[in-house]
Amino acid sequence: MHPSLQIAAKDLRQRARDRSAFLLAIVVPFTLAAIFSLLFGPAATPRAFEYAVVDQDRSAVSRSFAVDVLGAMQDQGVAEVSELDEDEARAGVRDGDLDAAFVLPRGFAADVASPRPAELSVVGSADSPTATVVARSVARSYVGGLDAARVAVAAVGASRPGLTAAEIERVAQETVRGVPPVALEDVSAAARVLDVKTYFAAAMAVFFLLFTVQFGVSSLIDERGEGTLARLLAAPVPRWAILVGKLLTSVVLGIVSLTVLMVASALMLGADWGDPLGVALLVVTGVLAGTGITSVIASLARTSEQAGTWQAVVAVTLGLLGGSFFPVQQGGEVVANLSLVTPHAWFLGGLGDLAGGGGAEQALPSAAALLGMAAVTMGIALLRIRRVVAP
């Protein structure tokens, strides 16, 4: 077996018996992801609006609104609609049981077929402003459609003066029923974003990644203090093989950690990671970038305690800046631009690109950025860390 593989195998066996490594790599990030999902998941999940319709007219026109418009909203999961009388509807809105109520008064159909304006009232709850705004928009759109139908009926009446009032009303009823006054359309968001469960699982995984991969190269400092590094240098082993073995330890630990977390969160939390090949690209490049960053820090430290402290500070700072605790868009343009220097932002952004159902090619820009970050940091670390393995 190659000396690098032997060194990596030895370190991995040691870490397998290290409970702190197991906690930092898997238990703590998974637990935090589960807690955050439980706390913030329900708040981020849109609920259906609770509406009521009060049909006092009981005409074909009023039924068209209740069935065609509100029924379509209910079929698409936008709203739950119940038919009540006016007192019950107003009481439900007042007590907070309903978000809004639509009131179609008596004579509604007659007003539609006449020059008089048709009245459709919306009673909204002060505690549900969004639902009320949506209800008013639907009502305005519906009334606008009725106005267009009324213009069409008036044009028919003007062109055919011999029509009776009953015939004009029949034309009005058919026109209203034939033209849907409100159209509901599902428009996908332009920005691809992760759902709450996947976001927190990914955020915690990449945040603790920098703590996990530090066990590789940082062990060089421990071995130097314990005297085992001198024995390695005295053995017929190239110095570069020692460095590669330590880096390989970090990479394996990081890949195993992210893989276990992703599988566990998918099975137990319902996280959706997207295309497997694209996810694999992000995992490998993200681990390489994290390993490079911790290697640079280890090359600057003189003791293992100093390395651990610096790595913790850098990991927390990059995690906050990279969106591990909140979406970077909430911090404004400056924070969003600064986040691009962190592997966290590119990793989460790549997963977001996969969230729309695209293939691995969607993750290529983020993977390329992570790979470039890994090349730069590992190059710096390898140049500096040579003094650690100097005889």
Check residue 103 and give its pLDDT. Answer: 92
* Same domain for 357 and 221: yes
Which two three-digit tokens encode residue 386?
């040579």
Q: Which residue has the tokens 């259906």?
A: 48
pLDDT at position 59 over 50 = yes
Question: Do 128 and 273 fall into the same domain?
Answer: no
pLDDT digits (tens, 9 = 90+) for 264-278: 999 998 888 989 999
- 342, 196: one domain: yes
> Does 176 or 112 have the greater pLDDT score?
112
- Tell me the average pLDDT of the chain: 80
Residue 187 belongs to some domain of the structure: no
pLDDT tens, position by position, 1-53? 677 788 788 888 887 787 877 888 889 999 998 888 887 765 555 567 899 99
In this structure, what token pair is assigned to residue 316? Answer: 């927390």
Range of the domain at 75: 47-178
The answer on 215 and 136 residing in a single domain is: no
Whether residue 158 sits in one domain with residue 100: yes
**Does 105 lie in the same domain as 52?**
yes
Q: Where are the beta strands (DSSP E) in the chain?
A: 49-55, 79-83, 100-104, 121-124
User: Is pTM, for the whole model, over 0.85?
Assistant: no
Q: Are residues 113 and 258 in the same domain?
A: no
Q: Does residue 380 have a pLDDT over 90?
A: no
Looking at the structure, do residues 155 and 227 belong to the same domain, yes or no? Answer: no
Name the domain boundary from 153, 178, 203: 178
Q: Does the pLDDT value for residue 187 go beyond 50?
A: no
What does the pLDDT read at residue 184? 53
User: Does 391 fall in a domain?
Assistant: no
Same domain for 31 and 72: no
Each residue of 324-379: pLDDT tens digit?
887 776 667 788 888 889 999 999 999 988 886 778 888 999 999 999 999 999 88
Query: How many domains is the chain built from?
Result: 2
Lay out the sheet containing 100-104: strands in order across.
79-83, 49-55, 100-104, 121-124
Q: What is the mean predicted confidence (pLDDT) over 241-266?
A: 89
Structural domain contains residue 94? yes
Residue 185 in any domain: the answer is no
Distances (CA, A) of 386 to 35, 164, 215, 298, 305: 42, 100, 18, 12, 20
* Same structural domain, 244 and 346: yes
In the 8-state DSSP scheme, what is residue 26? I
Q: Same domain for 112 and 217?
A: no
Q: What is the mean pLDDT of residues 86-105?
A: 90
Which amino acid, residue 201? A
How high is the pLDDT of residue 188?
46
Which residues face 379 on adjacent strands? none
Evaluate whether residue 184 is within a structural domain.
no
% of the chain beyond a pLDDT of 90: 24
Same-domain status, 31 and 138: no
Q: What is the residue type of 225?
A: G
